[in-house]
Amino acid sequence: EAQVTQNPRYLITVTGKKLTVTCSQNMNHEYMSWYRQDPGLGLRQIYYSMNVEVTDKGDVPEGYKVSRKEKRNFPLILESPSPNQTSLYFCASNDRQMRPGELFFGEGSRLTVL
């Protein structure tokens, strides 16, 4: 089954404690991206990756890091989380050549930073 898998789905942590949200896709997609969803703001792009070892900032990259060492994985790293990073996070992937703009989303990771 084609899917994007995120872990953890739910996490409560404290300010400053480094954490990683993993994302994996099994569709051999080159493009992957992270979004955060906040009430009244919709979804905003954090980072994206066009391919292995190619990443770039989205609209709200501050406080986040990413890496793309393998095609299937695109982890989101919060080096020193702060309360304003409390949000619902979505990973997405896309076959840009065949279906531009058609993102496949994971189920989301709800993060609370105390």
Partner 1 sequence: GNSVTQMEGPVTLSEEAFLTINCTYTATGYPSLFWYVQYPGEGLQLLLKATKADDKGSNKGFEATYRKETTSFHLEKGSVQVSDSAVYFCALSSFQKLVFGTGTRLLVSP
Hey, is 48 helix, strand or coil? Answer: strand
Can you tell me whether residue 83 is helix, strand or coil? Answer: helix
Which lies closer to partner 1 via its Cβ, residue 6 or residue 85?
A: 6
Q: How far is the CB of 84 from partner 1 (least distance, A)?
A: 18
Which residues are within 8 A (CB) of 90 and not within 5 positions of it... i.e. 6 or more apart?
6, 34, 35, 36, 37, 43, 105, 106, 108, 109
Contact residues for partner 1 (CB under 8 A)? Answer: 4, 33, 35, 40-45, 48, 50, 56, 58-59, 90, 92, 100-103, 105-108
Q: 2 or 14, CB closer to partner 1? A: 2
Q: How far is the CB of 91 from partner 1 (least distance, A)?
A: 9
